[in-house]
Structure 1
Amino acid sequence: MIKAVLFDLDGTLADTAPDLGGALNTLLAKRGLPPKDMADIRAVASHGAAGLLALGAGISRGDEGFDEWRAAYLAEYEACFDRDTVLFPQISELLAALARKGIVWGIVTNKPAAFTDRLVSKLGFAAPPAVVVSGDTCAEAKPSVVPMLYACEQLGVAPQECLYVGDAQRDMQAGRDAGMKTVLALWGYIAAGDRTEEWPADFAVSCPSDIEALLG
């Protein structure tokens, strides 16, 4: 029996790409570089600052200057992180349905807590999350199982009693390795070249209402 549903945040619960991309394009403009199309931004948005900087500036973690670029990007995101971000369609209805069924829900994201905590309070969830685990809550982030198991401990449920819903390969890997059932959110930030059929997902759903159907 499923007692809890855990979700990724960016690209699963909330459409954060407009603000993630807006911060990137503002930074690129300040440094004399061309903006990136939102379609390209959406394809990498789940990979956070590192993915966005690789797209926009061609700079990767470990490259000289990366830390400075990342700090500058996060400063731009700080100024707009909640400007255009909204819940995806049907998310509110899904969370209300979980509450009616007595199923608790929570968030396990790689987003830093400095942003997660403030954003969660502004999104207007139909029912509040029972646990929120950010990328820096634990010593390790996804695809590690550490934040997944921490969330279970906080909820008092076994991993086998959880669904984990996410839109990235690391989400599916972390959930599977932790012993949860995994659900791939096909409405999320998935690139055209991603081989999702090779990701360790137990289910793939095209809209949030499909998750309620899985729960019966």
Structure 2
Amino acid sequence: MQAVLFDLDGTLIDTAADFIRIIQHMCREEGHAVVDADLIRTQVSEGARAMVKLVYPELAVDDPIFLAHRQRFLDLYGEDIAVDTDLFQGMYPLIEDLESHNILWGIVTNKPRGLSESLLQALNLSERCAVLVCPEDVTHTKPDPEPMYLAASHLQIDPKQIIYVGDHPRDIDAGRNASMYTILAAYGYLPLEHKDNLDAWQADCIVNNVTELHQIINKLVDIKRITA
């Protein structure tokens, strides 16, 4: 393996606290019951629509009122994108290890480019990330393999020599569809309907924390061989 690609929210970066803060603020603002933090966390990977639906379950997602609330959510998030957000514990040493051995790493996400770039800038990762593929860059998003192939092309590495790490079934499907080695990040924002049967995702490997992820990646890229 010659490169590592990550999903963004729930895999590389722990963004849930900021989403929880904003959604619960919107609940209080509207006089609604405050949505439980753990429930919000399970919806992070499903996008803004799913999180806003937790606050306004009675509204259809194409209702103009719902769309206005969704835009307000995105505006609030964009204004303070990294108040309580950081890489998952142990992730800084992992990417530093990759960089020290000239192993490229990048991101393939369904998060809009504007928000993704702002987040990476806030965490001083923009210059370190070798490739960032977002929905605006492709015709078909994950689970389609198109964004995976685009990332591999940018890196000039055969997809079969790339590891993809994600916390949603569409991440694993996209990686598998592109013949990448897939790692399921079970420490991430696992969707409720899929979290009880992780084997069904058919990932090549499942890790429960970043320490395990670091160990697996080191074995796959064979750091000792590269150093020698």
TM-score, length-scaled by structure 2: 0.86
* Residue 24 of structure 1: aligned partner: 23
Name stretches of at least 5 consecutive residues in structure 1 with no aligned partner: none
Structure 1 residue 193: Cα displacement: 4.5
Among candidates 205, 209, 212, match of residue 210 of structure 1 = 212
Alignment of 1:6-17 (within 5 A): 6-17=5-16
> Displacement of 1:140 after TM fit?
2.6
The normalised TM-score by structure 1 is: 0.91
Counterpart of 2:141 in structure 1 is 141
- SS at the partner of 2:149? helix
Give 1:71 deviation, angstroms.
1.2
DSSP-derived class of the 1:136 partner: helix
Q: Does 2:41 correspond to 1:39?
A: no
Structure 1 pair 20/136, CA: closer, same or farther in 2 (3 Å)? farther
Any residues of structure 2 matched to 1:1-216 within 5 Å, and which? 2-58=1-57, 59=59, 61-62=61-62, 65-125=65-125, 128-191=128-191, 193-194=193-194, 195-214=197-216, 215-216=218-219
Once superposed, what is the RMSD of the aligned Cα atoms? 2.0
Aligned partners of 1:50 and 1:61 also within 8 Å: yes
121-130 or 23-32, which deviates more: 121-130
Give the superposition deviation at 1:55: 2.2
Aligned-pair CA distance for 1:138? 2.0
Report the alpha carbon displacement of residue 144 of structure 1 after superposing the two structures with TM: 1.8
Contact 1:99–1:127, Cα closer than 8 Å, also in 2: no
Whether the 8 Å contact between 2:45 and 2:191 is mirrored in structure 1 is no
Amino acid at match of 1:111: K
- Report sequence identity in percent: 34
Matches of 1:139 and 1:22, distance apart in 2: 32
Distance, in Å, in 2 between the alignment partners of 1:164 and 1:39 is 26
The alpha carbon displacement at 1:4 in A equals 0.7
1:69-114 deviations in whole A, cap 9, x for unaligned? 3212111212221111111111011111112332100011111111
Task: Provide the rounded CA distance (Å) in 2 between the counterparts of 1:90 and 1:126.
Answer: 19
Larger radius of gyration: 2
Partners of 1:132 and 1:118 lie apart in 2 by: 12
